[in-house]
Structures are given as C-alpha cells and as structure tokens.
Homo-oligomer: A and B are copies of this chain.
Amino acid sequence: MIESSNGGVEIEFWFDPASSYSYIAAADLAGIEARCGAMFRYRPFLLGPIFAAQGWNDSPFNLYPGKGAYMWRDLGRLCADRKLPLRRPRQFPRNSVLPACVALIGLDHEWGKRFVTALFTANFGHDVDTSSAAGLGEVLRALGIDPEPVLAAAADPGVRARLRASTEEAIRRGIFGAPSFMVGEELFWGTDRLEQAIRHAGAVSALPLSGEHG
C-alpha cells in the first residue's frame, strides 16, 4: 500500500480523457481534494485497446444506441446536479492519445490534476476538440501554461511508451472501463463507487501497516 500525502491510503483514479463519466469523476475528485488534500493518484490510460480486446471497434455507447442515448441523458442529470456545463461533443469519443500524454507530463509537474479537470470540462462542457494540439493549446493557455514545450514533450516516443505501459498495467489489474478506482488491488468501477472506494481506503489505512509488526 502507498500512503498519500495526507497520510491516508492512496486511491488511484484511472481515466481515459474520452470517457464521459470520467468527466463527472474528475469534477468530484477535484472537489474532494480541495476539502481533504491530495488523496488520489491520477492514472491516464487508453480504453481503446481494452474495448478492442472485447471485439468492440468503437465506444459501447455508440455500438449500443439505446445505452448511448441513456448515457447522454444520465450525464445531463449528473451535470445538472453538480452545476457542471455540458455540451454534447460533436465527436465522441475523441482520440485520447495526445491529451493522455499531456496529462502524463502535467502529472510529473504540479499542474497535472488541474489540467485533467480542465481537459474534461473542455471536451464535455464546451465541445473543444481536445484530441488536437490546437484544442489542447487552448486548455493549457487558459491554465497559464505555455503549450509549446508541453506539446513538444508530449510527442516524445518515451511518453507514448509510458501511456502504453499504463494501459497494459490497467489490463493486468482487471480494469475494463473508466472511471475506475483502485485501492491496492481492490477495483471500484464507476463514479457511483467513489464513496465505497474512499470508505475502503479509510478502513485499510486504519489497520496497522504490515511493516509495523516487524
């Protein structure tokens, strides 16, 4: 178990920048961290290879139109409850590779979490093309970050390799959708399980650490 900066057990937040429900999760997490301090480790990954392994060449929300229509309605209600903006993206899902790489770079610095929140808001709240350098530049500039060196760094093959490794790790650890939360090897799928994940992390951190027994 890894301890988070506020002394509790860390919760990993696995997301794909194209995942609609991850927009809700990222907003909820930002609110929780504003009140409680850093609790989550943000883990960008790609759903595409996971869906492809299930025989899906597109988002299940596009492959199964009834489910898709419901998702947008449900997302609308969840956004309304939280007073989050929602404008249905002209393209869904948007390609996640470049925004996920930028997120990885941001998470090496102090602006990663802010960027992730802004990225989801841009994609789902304002229909910005977050798959493109232009759209990502807009998001970064609004955060006061110079896009040029970031986008240059994001094009580095080493960053893509890290993203690929994260996606392989997600598969290995049983992740099949986003958002997903992991507390150790305990998986919680969906924003609806965030509370349970936090409760579980609290129960785990209340136990004596194994090292303390030595």
With A69-B174, A174-B69 given, is the CB distance from A189 to B74 under 8 Å? yes
Q: Does A77 contact B (CB under 8 A)?
A: yes
Set of chain B residues within 8 Å of A193, measured between Cβ atoms: 74
With A69-B174, A174-B69 given, is the CB distance from A77 to B187 under 8 Å? no
Copies in the complex: 2
Give the CA-CA distance A193 to B187 in the complex, in Å: 21
Interface residues on A, range: 10 to 19
Tell me if B192 and A192 are in contact (CB < 8 A). Answer: yes
Set of chain B residues within 8 Å of A70, measured between Cβ atoms: 174, 176, 187, 189
Interface string of A99-126 (1 = CB under 8 A from B): 0000000000000000000000000000
Set of chain B residues within 8 Å of A69, measured between Cβ atoms: 174
Q: Which of B66, B174, B189, B192 interacts with A176 by CB under 8 Å?
A: B66
Set of chain B residues within 8 Å of A67, measured between Cβ atoms: 176-177
User: Which residue from chain B places its CB closest to the CB of A71 in the assembled complex?
Assistant: B189
Closest 4 A-B residue pairs measured CB to CB? A192-B192, A66-B176, A67-B176, A54-B64
